[in-house]
């Protein structure tokens, strides 16, 4: 029990000499421990939590792949701290926010960051704007590696495979034909869709039709993310809800059902300070951090 003693406050630790076994701590109700060892219910629960962590914590974490899994760091220390190491693989991450808050800046930075060790992968970047900000990617290719202790190199641009897509049909072709083919030859580790809202923005699409299209795209994204170990980041825009006078991510539930991690970027227009907010992520508490954007990227 000594290794358990070290992790407990004195008041609980000295009761351990009376405890029969760790098994007893783990299988008893907190109230039984409270009565038997004259410690409070809260102390009993704390004792159980620490005992569980000591005995099975690491194995559970390994099995779930939660704590020890590799993340895609952004290179912005505040965002990486907040997200406990960056963006998760094998699932759809969403970054949403108003125009000009820095969504594209973050994605461009990720396209460089993904090439840094230990991931050392390439990026597939779907751009829905007419022109891709290649000059900005060049700037970031030269500056972002310093956050990883490396020097910048314009050749990092070669590992960002940019594709333009303006509508669902083009995106479908990219995700069902072009990307799978590319994945046979290139180790892509990041897929960015900037933005998913632009793909489905057309007023002409009927609600049901759009839901079906979103369903198709998301299933394929999830399939590719899982089978090829990809980080998928989809940029989304903000829509006002006339009923509640609030705003939220576009595309409604048909889309939201597929998003595992939802992040919001906000900007204080008076001083340029941005905020990266965890809105919803199963392994993170809702919280936010501040960052700025300079010529060398997000800091």
Binding site for ligand ATP (CB under 6 A): 97, 99-105, 136, 293-295
Q: Taking the complex as a whole, how short is the minimal distance between the CB of residue 43 and ligand ATP, in angstroms?
A: 48
Instruction: Compare residues 101 and 230 and give the one whose CB is closer to ligand ATP.
Output: 101
Question: For 40, phi and psi rounded to 5 degrees?
Answer: -70, 165
Residue 126 contacts which entry, ligand ATP, Mg ion, none (Cβ below 5-8 A, type-dependent): none
Q: Closer to ligand ATP at the Cβ: 271 or 294?
A: 294
CB within 8 Å of 156: residues ≥ 6 apart: 112, 115, 141, 145
Closest CA relative to residue 126, chosen from 72, 181, 187, 197: 197
d(CA 288, CA 280): 11
Residue 277 contacts which entry, Mg ion, ligand ATP, none (Cβ below 5-8 A, type-dependent):
none
The contacts of residue 278 (CB under 8 Å, 6+ apart) are: 82, 83, 261, 263, 284, 285, 286, 287, 288
Smallest distance, ligand ATP to C-beta of residue 294, A: 5
Which sign, positive or negative, has the C-alpha torsion 104, 108, 111, 114? negative
| Least distance to Mg ion, CB of residue 127, Å | 9
Q: Toward Mg ion, which CB reaches closer, 43 or 94?
A: 94
Interacting partner of 298 out of ligand ATP, Mg ion, none (Cβ under 5 to 8 A depending on kind): none
Summarize the chain as % helix, strand, coil (round to 5).
45, 20, 35
Task: Specify whether the CB–CB gap between 103 and 93 falls below 8 A.
Answer: no
Provide, rounded to whole angstroms, the least separation between the CB of residue 277 and ligand ATP: 14
Question: Where does this chain bind Mg ion (CB under 5 A)?
Answer: 104
Task: Supply the minimum distance, in Å, between the C-beta of residue 286 and Mg ion.
Answer: 24
Q: Cβ closer to Mg ion: 104 or 250?
A: 104
Residue 101 binds: one of ligand ATP, Mg ion, none (C-beta under 5 to 8 A by kind): ligand ATP
């Amino acid at each position: 029990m000594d290794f358990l003693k070290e992790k407990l406050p004195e008041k609980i630790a000295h009761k351990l000499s009376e405890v029969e076994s760790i098994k007893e701590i783990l299988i008893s109700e907190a109230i039984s421990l409270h009565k038997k060892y004259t410690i409070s219910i809260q102390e009993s629960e704390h004792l159980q939590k620490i005992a569980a962590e000591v005995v099975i914590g690491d194995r559970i974490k390994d099995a779930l792949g939660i704590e020890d899994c590799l993340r895609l760091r952004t290179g912005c220390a505040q965002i990486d701290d907040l997200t406990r190491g960056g963006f998760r693989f094998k699932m759809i991450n969403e970054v949403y926010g108003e125009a000009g808050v820095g969504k594209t800046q973050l994605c461009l930075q990720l396209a460089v960051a993904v090439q840094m060790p230990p991931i050392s992968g390439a990026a597939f970047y779907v751009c829905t704007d007419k022109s891709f900000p290649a000059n900005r990617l060049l700037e970031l290719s030269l500056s972002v590696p310093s956050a990883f202790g490396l020097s910048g190199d314009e050749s990092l641009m070669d590992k960002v495979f940019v594709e333009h897509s303006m509508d669902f049909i083009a995106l479908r072709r990219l995700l069902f034909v072009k990307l799978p083919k590319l994945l046979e030859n290139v180790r892509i580790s990041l897929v960015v869709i900037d933005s998913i809202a632009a793909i489905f923005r057309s007023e002409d699409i009927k609600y049901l039709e759009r839901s079906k299209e979103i369903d198709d795209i998301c299933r394929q994204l999830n399939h590719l993310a899982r089978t090829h170990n990809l980080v998928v980041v989809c940029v989304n825009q903000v829509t006002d809800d006339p009923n509640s006078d609030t705003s939220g991510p576009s595309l409604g539930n048909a889309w939201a059902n597929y998003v595992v991690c939802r992040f919001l970027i906000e900007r204080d227009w008076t001083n340029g300070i941005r905020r990266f907010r965890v809105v919803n992520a199963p392994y993170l508490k809702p919280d936010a951090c501040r960052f700025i954007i300079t010529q060398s990227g997000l800091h």
